[in-house]
Chain A
């Protein structure tokens, strides 16, 4: 017996949906990446574009990873429900 284990699968589905929506917002934050004036071109201009590109990729990866986590939580909720249904069916025989 694991007294610490508890799950509200309906709540978990909602959480997964909220996390997935949040992941979209994280990915969307990449659109706010700063853009420096292209001219006149200082070394800083290139470095700023480089830093912005790197940060943008960081955010996009973060969004994707968050979306993957949301999907796994949704899968877990579905698996819990499926297991519950399967075991209930088995015990009802």
Chain B
């Protein structure tokens, strides 16, 4: 088939495809994984039951056999998730391709052009430029669809490989840089990686340098353990309110992970220490051209994760609408202990601690990205902007842009004090955001303006960042309201453009 014929076939397929049907197929795999999870739990119950009625050498042999079968059930569960991941990304890509196709169709209609059943654009005298524009948009749509098809087919075909468990491996030290971890992981075949995840999910769940899709699987495998850990905490006398909040947060997170539609959620990290923390991506960042890392502020915890996740998701969805030619992903990064109370938020200690983790996470995103590096944007909201500011000031922050939203100061008074290119720093503060009145009682800047709690307001011209507008009535949380200028600006910055 020559290139023109191939394009014509892809065009016909794309026109006849409902991307949501593929997302529904992905969901069916996810539900199959849930069924496999229930079977794994039952396996565990049966093993415990057998231990109660039988012991000795023969019993140990039977338990070992059943244990091996249980691991095969877990392997099957992981296969289901891998298919779910591949098809979710395929469905999302087809959605973008269809958006480009619809855009081309609208442009053609606007200029009185006709697109025939083979995807060829027919114009009339004087419409050459419009024909070129429509043809370009069509080509872009077909390229997105064809590439997505190739990638998904390759990933799914690999699932048929049924390797034996690899020999026990020596893991890289926990201080190993992410690119070293990635190289170590790549020595194994996909099936061997699946066995490693089944055998030792805890070793990989939080390991920077392990691909995001694999960390998602490891963390999903550990969700049941997290629930058991909450039971243990309650038995051990942990505060009932804290345990209840963690359980509520975990339930909501689990519900989001099972949710239908795009973008698919990837659980990159989960912790029950303190009020709980989690890192969740919407869309696979390793396969996205644009990746936004959203760092939330004070009082962020596992229980409140849903609201922050919605904010991050809105940027990812809007970026997909504005720039459908390339995939965009948003990561909610609650990988630090955010302040819970005002007296904690008055200190930069937690931001400094979080900055080191954020730097490593951004390095990990670079290390695990498929192909060339993604365009990475790091956004800090409220106290989260201090975390981002501390990371940018420390140097070594692997990002293309940083964005401060509703900031109480970012630890420095000028972009020149950041070890980050000044022309890649953006900031916004709504006129109704009370954060700008959180002034420090002690300092007045040379230009007579007051310090905010952690330095000069980065949205003031004197700071030197690119300042972009947000809606007047945004307050402290309304920057992500649909239809507002701030959300569009955040999406455009994420895509590498200007607000």
Contacts and interface: CB of A to CB of B under 8 A. Distances in A.
Interface stretch (B16-24, B297-305, B490-498): B16-24
A57 to B, nearest CB: 9
Contacts of B159: 51, 54-55
Interface in A35-78: 35-37, 39-44, 46-48, 50-52, 54-55, 58-59, 62, 65-66, 69, 72-73, 76
A18 B46 CA distance: 8
Interface residues of A, number: 45
A66 B12 CA distance: 47
A5 B16 CA distance: 65
A55 B84 CA distance: 13
A25 to B, nearest CB: 7
B53 A47 contact: no
B72 interface: yes
Nearest to B14: A40
A47 B31 contact: no
A14 B53 CA distance: 10
Given A4-B55, A36-B25, A54-B160, A22 B62 contact: no
Interface string B142-172: 0000000110111111011010000000000
B79 interface: yes
Contacts of B54: 6-8, 11-12, 15
Given A8-B53, A15-B54, A36-B25, A42 B36 contact: no
B13 A50 contact: no
Contact of B57 (A5, A14, A19): A5
A78 to B, nearest CB: 13
Contacts of A51: 79, 83, 156-157, 159-160
B53 A55 contact: no
B62 A76 contact: yes
A50 B76 contact: no
B46 A46 contact: no
Contacts of A34: 25, 28-29, 32, 83
A4 to B, nearest CB: 5
Given A5-B55, A59-B76, A43 B149 contact: yes
B58 interface: yes
Given A18-B46, A58-B162, A66-B69, A48 B25 contact: yes
Interface residues of B, number: 51
B80 to A, nearest CB: 7
Interface string B13-49: 1001100011001001101100110010011001001
B90 interface: yes
User: Do most interface residues of chain B lie in helix, strand or loop, or is the interface mixed?
Assistant: helix
Contacts of A4: 55-56
Nearest to A59: B76
B387 to A, nearest CB: 40
A26 B46 CA distance: 13
A35 B79 CA distance: 15
Contact of A36 (B13, B22, B31, B35): B22
A89 interface: no
A12 B63 CA distance: 13
A11 B53 contact: yes
Given A18-B46, A76-B58, A62 B72 contact: yes
Contacts of A72: 62
Given A44-B152, A46-B153, A48-B156, A15 B72 contact: no
B322 interface: no
B160 A69 contact: no
A36 B442 CA distance: 65
B65 interface: yes
A47 B153 contact: yes
B69 A69 contact: yes
Contact of A47 (B12, B55, B76, B157): B157
B435 interface: no
B418 to A, nearest CB: 44
A33 to B, nearest CB: 7
Contacts of B150: 43
A44 B32 contact: no
B72 A44 contact: no
Contacts of B157: 47, 50-51
Nearest to A36: B25
Interface in A1-32: 2, 4-8, 11-12, 14-15, 18-19, 22, 25-26, 29, 32
30 contacts: A2-B57, A4-B56, A5-B55, A19-B46, A22-B39, A22-B42, A29-B32, A29-B35, A32-B31, A32-B32, A34-B28, A37-B21, A42-B17, A42-B153, A44-B149, A44-B152, A47-B153, A47-B155, A48-B83, A48-B87, A50-B156, A51-B83, A51-B156, A51-B160, A54-B160, A55-B79, A55-B80, A55-B83, A58-B75, A58-B162
Given A2-B56, A44-B22, 9 more contacts: A7-B53, A11-B52, A19-B50, A29-B35, A37-B25, A39-B16, A43-B150, A47-B152, A62-B69
A-B pairs with the 7 shortest C-beta distances? A11-B53, A5-B56, A47-B156, A34-B28, A43-B153, A47-B153, A54-B160
Interface of A: 2, 4-8, 11-12, 14-15, 18-19, 22, 25-26, 29, 32-37, 39-44, 46-48, 50-52, 54-55, 58-59, 62, 65-66, 69, 72-73, 76
